[in-house]
Structure 1
């Protein structure tokens, strides 16, 4: 007999609330509790979703013993403690990307899950993006030759590090953005990163008292001899048509692909600016749909044993190791071998 998964959400912000609603709208799962250290966030989440909300993960696990899984939607640097505690208590995990912001934390999460016999899915959203799914199918279902290179430009406007994130100084364009594009490159190409040489600039954000990188370019040598160049910055002007810019290119021995991930096809001209309308999540008839909702639904299918081809602990650990190597390369100003 298959039991209905009961999930707890760790983190009551925008993403945590989105995941909570996704679970409540999934008929095969149940939302059991939420957790957030901020009193107002807890009160709002509890009122919105009609479930108890707790200040700590310990309290949530003790008070709701029927929990079978947890979604980690805390800030990137704060994944380890929540994930290790949940895994150690037998909960399967869906963890927002990156799995962690250093290899030690990532290994601690992976080891806790391995010791407890629980599963990890990492939220690399591009694997659910229909545009990239089409490219993945084309690359793997037809003979497009060998991949020569992949080039990804994934950038945010200044709004993200100055207004959206209160913890930007604890992150970087590489930690916040490159896990998306690097996992995408690995998934599309089927090769692993073995070496990286990165360069970056620190000017605008440090001048604004946010001690992190403005822009980073990382060139990865892949295990099949191809290369991947990823450019990520946090300093696009806020007048840009969307809060992010995402352009991706793949060259093979028999052709090329160009994918625009930010322009969804609707350009809005107003009296003072041009805007690319975004609909990562759509609401229709009182229900939501979209890439992050699909991701949650697949996690539920994983819990039910009907889905397995999803980014897992090994994928999350590899990307964390690679992005940590990006920062090591920035510090040493040379190429760095990525730990395997």
Structure 2
């Protein structure tokens, strides 16, 4: 019989509820317990999955369960992750690692002192198209990248309706982690300098006190320069909830990717749309096969097979430092050297 890893999940919000769904579906794992500050939600998910529930992370830390996913809101990662690391648990945490560079540094220290494995869920690395971009650049067939542009934005409903904690995050914490991870992964370098600008006002008028949009010019040691852009105020009439485009120029080539268009569009009486295929649904054979579920299964494999996972906490710390650099650049109006933040 195949060994099944018992996994616990902390945080059962919109995306967090996918974690127990995946672990329950994967043939190498099973959900042992779910945890949420909202007792009613914890009870409901546990009843649906058929597992135990709790509202206490300390209770999880003292249990015999070895492996956990943390999918709490962006600003609430440090507490549960640090508690579980100190208990030598295996921990997968959603991006961003934290929304504080000091906290990120502390989590790296705890992770490297722990006997457990740790990983940040930068799930776009598992998108076959982004993997193809990575492999093409790594092959050298187009020469070294020298200039790029990448955008990931969300329809305004994400900040207005989806996330009750949107004011404690923003497009920079919610979306930039994906872009910063992708480009540092694809170019395979830690950036040198970051210069950023940002805009506030539209969301503030709607009671969400965070940035509407942010842009950043990032310079890499090889001389490559990439412009990053993110926004939380895309009109809800946009065909997709997300707005993601990339172009990367190299010495002898060019790569473009439009992530919004899945290859199919629907024109209904209500809206023209690009559906997310097949996120959030089982296929007709009952399988959960979207790439966004793959990092959770991969982490289970790493734990069972004794392999060190990629997307390390150190990479998560660099990711957080890049966003911190954006905020400092906006505040000072000057470029920020990443080395000054990382020490």
How is 1:150-189 mapped onto 2 (pairs within 5 angstroms)?
Answer: 150-189=148-187
For residues 197-238 of structure 1, the C-alpha deviation after alignment (integer angstroms, 9 at most, x for no partner) is 000111201111211111100111112111111100000111
Structure 1 unaligned spans of 5+:
none
- CA apart distance, 1:120: 1.2
Partner SS, residue 59 of structure 1: helix
Alpha carbons 2:89, 2:115 under 8 Å: kept: no
Alpha carbons 2:12, 2:42 under 8 Å: kept: yes
Partner SS, residue 278 of structure 1: coil
Per the normalisation by structure 2, the TM-score is 0.94
The answer for the alignment partner of 2:282 in structure 1 is 283
What is the rounded CA distance, in whole Å, between the counterparts of 1:142 and 1:174 in structure 2? 31
What is the rounded CA distance, in whole Å, between the counterparts of 1:286 and 1:190 in structure 2? 37
- CA apart distance, 1:175: 0.8
How is 1:83-232 mapped onto 2 (pairs within 5 angstroms)?
Answer: 83-232=81-230
Structure 2 unaligned spans of 5+:
none
What is the rounded CA distance, in whole Å, between the counterparts of 1:256 and 1:308 in structure 2? 33
The answer for the alignment partner of 2:69 in structure 1 is 71
The answer for the alignment partner of 2:242 in structure 1 is 244
What is the rounded CA distance, in whole Å, between the counterparts of 1:198 and 1:153 in structure 2? 14
What is the rounded CA distance, in whole Å, between the counterparts of 1:23 and 1:202 in structure 2? 39
- CA apart distance, 1:5: 2.6
Per the normalisation by structure 1, the TM-score is 0.95
User: Quick one: structure 1 residues 270 and 3, their matched pair in 2 at CA, closer, same or farther if it must change by over 3 Å?
Assistant: closer
Partner SS, residue 200 of structure 1: strand
For residues 2-54 of structure 1, the C-alpha deviation after alignment (integer angstroms, 9 at most, x for no partner) is 96432110011232221111111222222111100102211111111111111
The answer for the alignment partner of 1:303 in structure 2 is 303
- Between the two proteins, the alignment pairs up a number of residues equal to 337
